[in-house]
Amino acid sequence: MKDYWLKFGCFLTGYNYTIVKQSSEAVAKVVKKNLSALLIIAIVWGFIGYVFTQRYLHGNLITSLAGALLMVIIIIQIERQIILTVGKNNKAMTFRIIIGIVMAIIGSVILDQIMFKEDVEKMRISTIQKEVNLILPMKTNEIQESIKQIDSALFKKEYERNAIIEEISQRPTIVAISSILNQRKDSITGKMVNTGKQITTQAIPNPKAELITQIDNHIRALRLQKEKKDSTLLNMRQITEAELKSKVGFLDELQILVQVLLSSNIALMVWVLIFMFFLMIELFILVNKLGDDKNDYDRLLKHQIDVRMSMIDKLNDNI
């Protein structure tokens, strides 16, 4: 079990397991120490990646787990830049400190949004009410204008219907006139000639009566539209609030969180403590690297580099 743990440590930190086994126990302890620090950082950031994906990217369980895994991989690759550095590289360490500060700010902000969730929600409700008061008049005017247009269309259709009904009541039927030409064959020329015209009249129902059904259907559809618009107008505040609440934005909550922190010294102190916690975790491996003396693993790698460089120099001299 001890060997598997060492193998796992070498896998995550990037150490060569074969060289570590040939080295002293001090090297194995360094690997295990870096592994412990790496696991702490990876677990914390895996949790943050899961929560961020679930809350702000609206991911399901699988997507959130994928987000957590991606965050863990990124953290491991960042920490390897320090762990696998042979000797002390001041530029790399300075850059890692800057990354650590940035990541500590991001991590503490996301964690604070979870911790101060109820406080953020309370202030968010107040903010939503202000936004509703600004948006509501514009949306209300739009619906009222739409209702006016529907009323105008209804008035025209009802006027048209009444006019047709009045016309039908006065003229329920119309006279249809048809004529038939009478022809015979001329005995001399052999051509057909007209001998007279037969005119017939017939009373038929007024064809405009068929338009009433179409107009009634149109009026019914317009009234249904008006009912929906009226219902929307009555519930416009609730609908607008629901729309704003359904859209949880990271920047919106971040602005509210800043307001919460600035309005309470206790909340600000908690954020500072969480920030310091994240910063210490981020710089954990870097501090360990600075505090460790050179061991036989590092010296062996340095020796291999020197030998290889010497061989390359000799090849260049021979050429």
DSSP 238-304: HHHHHHHHH---HHHHHHHHHHHHHH-HHHHHHHHHHHHHHHHHHTHHHHHHHHPPP-HHHHHHHHH
Q: What distance in Å separates the CA atoms of residue 38 and residue 9, rounded to the nearest whole number?
A: 9
pTM above threshold 0.95 = no
Q: pLDDT tier at 297 (50, 70, 90 boundaries)?
A: confident
What confidence score (pLDDT) does residue 186 get?
A: 61
Given a contact cutoff of 8 angstroms between Cβ atoms, the answer to whether 247 and 128 are in contact is: no
Question: Could you tell me the pLDDT band of residue 157, with boundaries at 50, 70 and 90?
Answer: confident
pLDDT at 180: 66
pLDDT in tens, 124-146: 777 777 777 778 788 888 888 88
In degrees, to the nearest 5, what angle opens at C-alpha 262 toward C-alphas 256 and 265?
A: 130
Q: Comparing C-alpha atoms, which of 253, 224, 204, 214 is closest to residue 51? A: 253
Euclidean distance between CA atoms 145 and 139, whole angstroms: 10
CA-CA distance, 34 to 8, in Å (whole number)?
A: 11
Give the C-alpha separation, 28 to 45, whole Å. 26
